[in-house]
A and B are shown apart, each in its own frame.
Chain A
Amino acid sequence: MSVVGTLPPLAARTAHTEPRVVRYALVGAALLFLGAFLVVPLAAVFIEALKAGLTAYLAAIREPDAWAALKLSGFVTGCAVAFNLVFGLAASWAIAKFTFRGKNLLLALIDVPLAVSPVVSGLVFVLLFGRQGWLGPWLASHDLKVIFAVPGIVLATLFVTFPLIAREVLPVMQAAGTEEEEAAHLLGASGWQIFFRVTLPNVKWGVIYGVMLCAARAMGEFGAVSVVSGHVRGLTNTLPLHIEILYNEYRFPAAFAVASVLTLLAVATLGARSAIEAFARRRETTGSIRATERI
């Protein structure tokens, strides 16, 4: 009995055999890298943005072109999230729950946008819809504009963010298996009832993460959008493109002011993700506390 009693502390001690110096050195190194590559640049953005004073900062953000860019970015992000949400759920549902021919091909195809350089993705759309492109003459004869217009920007963003939600949802859905769906089916649920009441709640964290990831990427996308946008101020400039224009015109405070807005949006997205996670964890733990109280 006494032997059993001494075992746990022994095991606990062996888990921390590294000398204190090594531990501190490792933690210190990690913090140093984090500081140099993340905190300092982020801080620099805000310092540069506010260098010319708060009035100049607000003026730079309130400028009509900047405001238009912000609205366009918001619209494009909304489109990307909505489309990829539907596609991501449909694709992961198909891959996780059914066996069919070409399943592996579909899986590989979903990943293509991750592998292809964004600039190439943009060029593909110019090739397809540009004036000299395959569908260019047809579009021109019907007075439709895709390249150097909003539809092109939306298409390029969709292409680039295509895998993000599907990739987040798929593993969660595969892990959930099909038994709960079968059980729901046997209990008389219809296909849509199964989807909304069993499948979707099981993958909701995957969906939420995927949406955040997709939104962040859609807001910040530069390469592909830059190729198809045409940089028409107030019309086809998204936030990242607007920042680049301001920077190239040596209007550094304005460039950094707009950059700070984009950064804030990204940080807010990440913050929302962490908040949701923390909320979920708290609910789970209070759930189990409540449960133990009842025993």
Chain B
Amino acid sequence: MSIEIRDIQRTIGGFAALRGVSLAVETGELVALVGPSGSGKTSLLRIIAGLDQPDAGSIHLSGEDASARHVRDRRVGFVFQHYALFKHMTVAQNVAFGLTVRPRAERPPAKEIRERVTALLSLVQLEYLAERYPSQLSGGQRQRVALARALAVEPRVLLLDEPFGSLDAAVRIELRRWLRRLHDDLHVTSVFVTHDQEEAFEVADRIVVMNQGLIEQIGTPQEVFDHPATPFVMSFLGTTNIFHGRIQGGKAHLGRFTVDVAGRGEARGAPPQAEAYAAGYVRPHELEVATEASAAGGLWTTLERANVAGTFVKLELLDEDGRSLHAHVSREVYGALAASEGDRLYVTPRTVRIFPGEEPVSPERP
């Protein structure tokens, strides 16, 4: 079932949580809402579920206005960050809940409910825990029970609010891969909220980046990562080096180096005006690091620290103006540099994204 969100606005206690959000989710799609805390992603999810009402705008489920529909009748599956399992019920009773509360006429017979519960528990690979209480389960197991419970009522839409937010890193990675496989099997239209861009990249078909109650960009993981629409998206989706400067005659003068806006740099937005402010954004892996100055035009830096423990080496560099830069190089390149802390290194950006006329933003990282 498709979800269409039309110009939703919501103010909660004087705070504009959503300032006109429109979004269409196709049937069977898995969409991630990402953004820093307070960006409105959870508010939007709660409004889709019907747990909260928008001040303006409407939600259409399968083309039908859901505003008038009661939460009970929306057939929306919801998974909470803190599981919200019924503490006094066993796992099986939790999963059966949505079926047992149905009016007598619509309720499946007890035997069928039992079979359905068993089938769902085997789907989440937890049949052996059916008689346990939630307090006896680990976080990952609880979240899988919560998912089985949500799926029991055969929802038309599945909404997940930071589903892996309270789990530790290893379980988190395992569970999100599992969720992706589950979605590939079930194809239920899903929206999930996360503040972790890695998680969104790995799980989602499409990513919606939100900031301050507005959508900054919608696109596939690759689109938003490679072609960020705004400086915010650029900074939110990973570490970034920012170079401030001005644009003059088709060239961006960013401190100590100059980028040809038409050529190598990737300019977005309005055509750069003469003498306009511009900021260049470069990801750490897009910086080339060498011991000698190159013709391409770069800047001299001093190596502050090298973090070698990882699949690539993370370098912390200090330029001549005392600003710090982050560069990621392969272990081979680092070996060839043979640099130690305090050495001078020459840094050249391979790709620069230039956002003219926009003051740089540094989003709050969770």
* Residues in A lying within 8 Å of B, measured CB to CB: 179-180, 182-190, 193, 197-198, 201-202, 287-288, 291, 294
In the assembled complex, which residues on chain B have CB atoms less than 8 Å from the CB atom of A189?
Answer: 72, 97, 101
In the assembled complex, which residues on chain A have CB atoms less than 8 Å from the CB atom of B149?
Answer: 183, 187
In the assembled complex, which residues on chain B have CB atoms less than 8 Å from the CB atom of A288?
Answer: 136
Interface string of B133-170 (1 = CB under 8 A from A): 10010000000001001101100000000000000000
Q: How far is the CA of A189 from the CA of B97 in the complex (A)?
A: 9
Interface string of B271-315 (1 = CB under 8 A from A): 000000000000000000000000000000000000000000000
With known contacts A179-B84, A180-B86, A182-B51, A188–B133 Cβ distance under 8 A: no
> Which of A183, A189, A190, A193: most chain B CB closer than 10 A?
A183
| B181 CB-CB contact with A under 8 Å | no
With known contacts A179-B82, A193-B101, A294-B128, A185–B71 Cβ distance under 8 A: yes
Q: How far is the CB of B107 from chain A (nearest CB, A)?
A: 10
Complex contact A183–B84 (CB within 8 A): yes
Complex contact A188–B88 (CB within 8 A): no
Q: Given known contacts A197-B97, A202-B88, what 12 new A-B pairs fall within 8 Å (CB)? A: A179-B80, A180-B87, A182-B78, A182-B80, A183-B85, A184-B101, A186-B76, A187-B149, A187-B150, A187-B153, A193-B101, A198-B86
In the assembled complex, which residues on chain B have CB atoms less than 8 Å from the CB atom of A184?
Answer: 86, 97, 101
Complex contact A186–B101 (CB within 8 A): no
With known contacts A287-B136, A288-B136, A187–B87 Cβ distance under 8 A: no
Complex contact B80–A183 (CB within 8 A): yes
Closest-by-CB residue of A relative to B106 is A188
**Total contacts A to B, CB within 8 angstroms?**
68
From B101, B133, B146, contact of A190 by CB (8 A): B101
Q: How far is the CA of A97 from the CA of B344 in the complex (A)?
A: 62
Q: How far is the CB of B148 from chain A (nearest CB, A)?
A: 12
Q: How far is the CA of A250 from the CA of B307 in the complex (A)?
A: 91
- Classify the interface of chain A: helix, strand, loop or mixed: helix
In the assembled complex, which residues on chain B have CB atoms less than 8 Å from the CB atom of A180?
Answer: 84-87
* Residues in B lying within 8 Å of A, measured CB to CB: 49-51, 71-72, 74, 76-78, 80, 82, 84-88, 97-98, 101-102, 128, 132-133, 136, 146, 149-150, 152-153
In the assembled complex, which residues on chain A have CB atoms less than 8 Å from the CB atom of B133?
Answer: 287, 291
Q: How far is the CA of A91 from the CA of B80 in the complex (A)?
A: 27
In the assembled complex, which residues on chain B have CB atoms less than 8 Å from the CB atom of A186?
Answer: 49-51, 71-72, 74, 76-78, 150
Q: How far is the CA of A294 from the CA of B128 in the complex (A)?
A: 9
In the assembled complex, which residues on chain B have CB atoms less than 8 Å from the CB atom of A202?
Answer: 87-88
In the assembled complex, which residues on chain A have CB atoms less than 8 Å from the CB atom of B136?
Answer: 287-288, 291
In the assembled complex, which residues on chain B have CB atoms less than 8 Å from the CB atom of A182?
Answer: 51, 78, 80, 84
From A188, A190, A198, A291, contact of B98 by CB (8 A): A188
Q: How far is the CA of A288 from the CA of B84 in the complex (A)?
A: 20
Q: How far is the CA of A184 from the CA of B98 in the complex (A)?
A: 7
Complex contact A201–B49 (CB within 8 A): no
Closest-by-CB residue of B relative to A194 is B101
With known contacts A198-B86, A291-B132, A188–B101 Cβ distance under 8 A: yes
From B50, B82, B101, contact of A187 by CB (8 A): B101
